[in-house]
Structure 1
Amino acid sequence: MDLWYVDKYIDSHNHELARPNETAFLRSHRKMTEWQKNEIIGLQKAGLRKHQIMDVMVQESNGDHAEVGYVPRDLYNFSYLNKCAKIIDGDANAVLQNMRQRQLEDCEFFFDYQTNSEGRLVNLFWCDGQSRLDYQAFGDLLIFDSTYRTNKYSMPFVPFVGLNHHRSTTVFACAVVSHETTESFKWLLRTLLVAMYQKEPKSVITDGDHAMRRAIQQVLPNSIHRLCTWHVERNMTRFIHHCMIPDFRELIYKATMPSQFVRRWKDFVEAHKIGEGKKSYKWLSRMYKIRKLWAASYVKNKYFLGAQSNQRSESLNSQLHTHLNRKMTLADMEEHFFRCVKRIRRNEYELDCVASQSLPVLITEHKPLEMDAAKCFTPANFQLVQKEIERSSNYEIVEILENENCIKYIVSAREYTSVRFVECDDEETLANIKCNCLKFEREGIPCCHVMLVLIKHDALIPRSCVLTRWTQNAKSSILSDEKKNESSQQERFAELVNLSKPVFYEASGSTEDFLRWKKTLTDEQKKRRQNDDFHGNKGEVNQGLLNGASPLINVKILCEW
């Protein structure tokens, strides 16, 4: 063993000493504390980028970089190592372990997955307890598409969404699939029914995927299905010449009798000389075969609540794209998805508050009817009902026919020939009143023709004309459950920080209080350091478990994709 001896010691530096404002950048002076690491993880979960997190930390340190204790490079390195720690046993394993942890915190949390013969994750589905409750209230309309691939594996991301009582987006579930096959979509839909207590939607809006259409026909045969008009229009610009677009758009949106649609289609084909040699021939032939799924002539009187496209799903996907890209892991995507869901629910709570604490402005001369509508419907739906009350002035009752079974009101437009028939069982109670325009059957909103009859009798809105899902009490029979069994370390840390802020802010206004609290905290910090020294340094906390997750469970899924 070689021994080395100090022969000469020179007590002077061979370089210029760093100035006080430079010491914060020396490696020996840089250290990231555990509470700072925890705060960084919390800010990342809130969607802040790394440079924004650094700005927050500097601001919390009175704008002094030296007080932060580390530099941006340290933050980037920690974020990378923390991500690696979370998916050390594979991205798929990390996601499934997150699901298990959520299930411990929310007993109604549901998830299921499929693997292939090699043990690789191929399909994943999940929804929390609140989503399952929301589906019971608003699951009559289901909207989803699989056109987004917001992860590094290019796996389609499939959100299941709908409309809540404010006509805003509500999220029912989410899924990731490896292949867009009929079998994959059948598994997704069957899993959805299991999660939602076998409640089938009345109507479904999707993109034009052929495998998805076949899966809906087999799993949801009783649901009304239509294609998203936005996807139809996007494909229209790809497959047909721009000169055909105005005429084809008329075929999409103009509602006529089905027989008239067939005639109009033939006129369209002849006018643009569409033959087998044309580039657009194959696409138009396919569209004609499935015309009952997209043409207004076939879907005009069906129950879609006024929705024509899966823009709700598009809206959720656009939020998911914020701060993230196609390189993100499944764990990143799952975490960000729940952050977006929280934002959507916060918006719903705000609208609930507005609906319960205010009344909209009345603008028509039929105040009692209008006020009754304001008390029944949420503000967004009241505005639609209010427009129908206004429109009723454009019509008049030209004749009333009575028989033993019902009373029929013949309603005609004042300025043009248009006749509608409004029927009810009893003229006094206006029970089961309905109109042959079928607006209520399509959108759940009473039409202007019904409003005219109500005005004639000075009546309020019959409850047969009030769809519960559009009212302020849409969720009254469904208990919201957002309780958690046990909070994580990060949640406890956040709660303590929030409790301390008002106390410390008030103490900062007085030198005496400031010094008292500073001494208390300094003494507590010294005590903890002494305890750590006495018991020995136990090492760094596993940052992969800072979110409160339990150690990884052995899951038979490979992590290499």
Structure 2
Amino acid sequence: MSRTKKNLLISMRASGIGVSRAYRFLENEAGSRQNVGFIRKDVYNELHRESRNVSKINNGDANSLVQYFTEKGMSDPSFYWKLKLSDEGRLEHLFFRDCRYLIDYQHFGDVVSIDVTYKMNKYDLICVPIIGINHHRTNVMFGMGFLCNEKTESYEWLFRTFLESMYKKQPGVIFSDQDMALMNALDYTFTEASHRLCQWHINKNAVKHFGKLNHDREFKTLWFRCMKGCESEEQFEECWRRMIEEHNLSKNKWFSNMYVLRKRWSTAFTREKFSGGLHATSRSEVTNRVLKELCSSTSSLHEFVLGFERMQKNWRTIELEEDTFCRGIPGMFVQHTRILVQVGKVCTRKVFKSFEYEAVQSISVNLTQEPPDLNDEVLEFKVESRSSVTGYRLVKFNQRS
């Protein structure tokens, strides 16, 4: 492949033209595929090699960003940033957060979502937004990192730097995908957190392992019940055993591996810590979609950071508007209910509506078994429940607490 054709392909790719279209253009120019001199796979390989070379961030771009962060640090002592250089003195990894990230993490850092599917096209950098949810149940940013590769040691550097910037405060729960390097780094770094796997990613990946079972309704029912329909470990074990035996999956390696990881993805094992109602990294994925719209494939790292800060400013404006809307007691479906009035005084609109829905649904619960002795310290009631695997729930009430 001549240098001229390489440059042409790189320019076309940077302009958003796909490899297939670019290769067809070369075919038309040459008169036939045989006259091009190389096949389409060669184009993919060459562009991949070029992207690895470009990933060594341009010194001018890096210096511009360093100067920008230095000036921000002088005007805002709470602004934190850190970078790691290669042996050749080139920028490899980067992390930054402003004072608002720190404040938000102190309030909302119970649950953290990390997704690494977005890459900055120009340098092929891995973009790692660290996301949470606030009191309006909308996204809030805790920090932003850029890595030159997806190795465990690179993720470890980022997460250690993040903890350093947050004065060593560990999150309660972390959601991530099933990338092994990422999982290892999270386990090594966030030793006090409960690490959970994204159910959405698991289901997306599971399709290729299900085979013919993708069309088996009974199997799908058992699978989703194992995922988030079991309320105890005993229920999960029974449901899993039934699924494996009835569908002859005892020798399937993927299912065996998922069983080993069951405490990371099944809700039957993840009730001990508050998770904000999350079961997936969808919070990060929404952010990734926004990031893709910020910059083109030729944007510099400095331009990307400026676009990212504009996005943050917009998020914070929306949060202030929501705070304004939450003044006063929200409208209620059931009027003059003391518990709803109390919740309405302390919760935001979205949280209140979620609580109100559950409160109204509780009215439809039917009591099927009363305690034998109402004088006992702990009373146990048996009630019908459509959302339970067994069709009922046991509700315990401690009269002294």
Which TM-score bucket, shorter chain as reference? Answer: 0.7 to 0.9
Work out whether 1:149 is the aligned partner of 2:119. Answer: yes
* Pairing partner for 1:340 from 308, 311, 316: 311
Match of 1:287 in 2: 258
CA contact (8 A) 2:207 2:214 kept: no
Letter in 2 for 1:382: F
Structure-2 change in CA distance of 1:240 and 1:88 (3 Å): closer
**Which runs of structure 2 are paired with 1:422-437 in the superposition (5 Å)?**
422-423=397-398, 425=400
Distance 1:350 1:248, change over 3 A: same
User: Residue 147 of structure 1: CA displacement?
Assistant: 1.6
Question: How many Å separate the matches in 1 of 2:247 and 2:382?
Answer: 38
Deviation at 1:389, TM superposition (A): 2.3
Contact persistence 1:395–1:411 (CA under 8 A)? no
Q: Distance in 2 between matches of 1:96 and 1:167?
A: 34
- Aligned AA for 2:105? Y
Aligned pair in 2 of structure 1 residues 424, 321: CA closer, same or farther (>3 Å)? farther
Change in CA separation of 1:117 and 1:386 when aligned onto 2, cut-off 3 Å? same
Alignment-derived partner of residue 394 in structure 1: 364
Q: Which residue of 2 aligns with 1:322?
A: 293
Change (3 A) 1:88 1:201: closer
| Deviation of the 1:173 alpha carbon | 0.4
SS of match in other structure, 1:158: strand
Q: What CA distance in whole angstroms lies between the structure 2 residues aligned with 1:377 and 1:109?
A: 30
Amino acid at match of 1:185: Y
CA distance in 2, matches of 1:326, 1:275: 46
2:240 to 262, 265, 276: 265
Q: Which residue in the other structure is 1:355 paired with?
A: 326
Name the SS for the 1:240 alignment partner.
helix
Per the alignment, residue 433 of structure 1 pairs with none
What is the aligned counterpart of 1:236 among 187, 202, 206?
A: 206
State the distance in 2 between where 1:392 and 1:271 align. Answer: 35
Larger Rg: 1
**Distance verdict in 2 for CA 1:421–1:366, change over 3 Å:** farther
One-letter code aligned to 1:122: E
User: CA shift at 1:402, angstroms?
Assistant: 5.2
What's the offset of the Cα at 1:155?
1.4
The 3-state SS of whatever aligns with 1:185 is helix
Larger deviation, residues 123-132 vs 141-150: 141-150
Aligned to 1:382, which of 352, 355, 360? 352
Relative to structure 1, the CA distance from residue 137 to residue 333 in structure 2 (aligned partners, 3 Å threshold; closer, same or farther) is: same
CA offsets 1:344-366 (integer angstroms, 9 cap, x no match): 1111111100012x431122255
Separation (CA, whole Å) in 1 of partners of 2:225 and 2:384: 27
Unpaired runs of 5+ residues, structure 2, are 1-56, 386-390
Counterpart in 2 of 1:304? 275
Shift of 1:128: 0.5
TM-score, with structure 2 as normaliser:
0.75
User: How many residues of Structure 1 are paired with residues of Structure 2 in the alignment?
Assistant: 332
> In the TM superposition, what are the counterparts of 1:44-83 in structure 2 within 5 Å?
none
Q: Distance in 2 between matches of 1:260 and 1:147?
A: 34
Contact 1:201 1:223 in 2 (8 A): yes
Q: Residue in 1 aligned with 2:102?
A: 132
State the identity %. Answer: 29
Which residue of the other structure, out of 72, 93, 100, is the alignment partner of 1:123? 93
Deviation for aligned residue 1:113? 1.1
Of 296-305 and 183-192, more deviation after overlay is shown by 296-305
Q: In 1, Cα distance between the equivalents of 2:124 and 2:379?
A: 58
Question: How far apart, CA to CA, are the structure 2 residues paired with 1:328 and 1:285?
Answer: 44
Query: Which residue of structure 1 lines up, in the alignment, with residue 229 of structure 2?
Result: 254
Measure the CA separation in 1 of the matches of 2:131 and 2:354.
22
Aligned-partner SS, 1:176: strand
Partner SS for 1:285: helix
1:169-248 aligned within 5 A: 169-241=139-211, 243-244=213-214, 246=220, 247-248=222-223
Name which of 100, 103, 125 aligns with 2:73. 103
CA distance in 1, matches of 2:231, 2:333: 34
Task: Give the strand-richer structure, 1 or 2.
Answer: 2
Q: Distance in 2 between matches of 1:412 and 1:273?
A: 35
Q: Quickly say closer, same or farther: Cα 1:362–1:283, change in 2 above 3 A.
A: same
**8 A Cα contact 2:129 2:143, kept in partner:** yes
Tell me how far apart the structure 2 counterparts of residues 262 and 368 of structure 1 sit (CA, whole Å).
41
Following superposition, which runs of at least 4 residues in structure 1 exceed 6 angstroms of deviation?
none
User: Counterparts of 1:259 and 1:88 in 2: how far apart (Å)?
Assistant: 56
1:84-130 Cα offsets, whole Å, 9 max, x none, are xxx98522222222211221232211011111211122211100011
How far 1:411 moved relative to its partner?
3.9
CA contact 2:199–2:280 (8 Å) conserved in 1: yes
- Displacement of 1:308: 0.8
Q: In the alignment, which residue of structure 2 is the partner of 1:114?
A: 84
Per the TM alignment, residue 229 of structure 1 is displaced from its structure 2 partner at its CA by: 1.1
CA 1:143/1:420 → structure 2, altered by over 3 Å: closer, same or farther? same
CA contact (8 A) 1:154 1:326 kept: no
Segments of structure 1 that go 5 or more residues without pairing to the other structure are: 1-86, 427-561
What per-residue deviation string (whole Å, max 9, x for no partner) do you get for residues 321-363 of structure 1? 114344432122211111111111111111100012x431122
